[in-house]
Amino acid sequence: MSHDVPAPEHRRPDGVTDATVEALGKLSAALDHVEDARGHLYAFHRLMGSAETTLEEATAMVRDAGHDDIADALDRGVLGRNPLPGMWSFQMVESFDDGYYAEAKGIQQRAIDELMDGRRHVFEAEMKELRRTRGREGHEATPDDADTTI
């Protein structure tokens, strides 16, 4: 049976203003950017780990080819070096996760809990309602309203 309305967890709580819904929509968008940045930081971490392993192999190959001075320079100057002062990439990830990321996520959750009764993505759900065509296939309000037969 089709209800053709957003699920209760995506409906605006009573008394919540347009300004609050819009502000939390913008906060959600901002945190999406933080999540993307976090993903890039993790990608950097993985790439630096691969770079370290590959540099170690390259250093051995340079040494085996008879270029000890270059291999020594790689050993002293690059291998094991901190990409940022005092930190390998795992420490960057930990610092970001425990600092900026945790604080931003915590405040976002507080805003959702205090201002929206714990309801997430209300702004997006309301945008969907404005744009979808009721009764048209592929425009259902919820997954429960969709015909999922194959």
Phi, psi angles (nearest 5°) of residue 138: 85, -5
Q: What is the pLDDT of residues 58-84, one digit of tens each?
A: 999 999 999 999 999 999 999 999 999
Lowest mean pLDDT of 37-41, 80-84, 115-119, 145-149, name the range. Answer: 145-149
Q: What does the pLDDT read at residue 149? A: 64
Give the mean pLDDT of the chain.
Answer: 93
pLDDT band at 116 (very low <50, low <70, confident <90, very high): very high
**Cβ–Cβ under 8 Å, residues 93 and 46:** no
3-class secondary structure, 84: strand
| pTM for the model | 0.82
**Cβ–Cβ under 8 Å, residues 28 and 123:** yes
Average pLDDT over residues 110-137: 91
3-class secondary structure, 96: helix
Q: What does the pLDDT read at residue 140? A: 83
Q: What does the pLDDT read at residue 16? A: 96
pLDDT band at 150 (very low <50, low <70, confident <90, very high): low
**Cβ–Cβ under 8 Å, residues 24 and 116:** yes
Q: What is the pLDDT of residues 1-23, one digit of tens each?
A: 457 888 889 999 999 999 999 99
**Residue 108's Cα: distance from chain center in Å?**
14
Q: What sign for the dihedral angle of Cα 26, 32, 34, 40?
A: negative
Q: What is the pLDDT of residues 82-112, one digit of tens each?
A: 999 999 999 999 999 999 999 999 999 999 9
pLDDT band at 134 (very low <50, low <70, confident <90, very high): confident
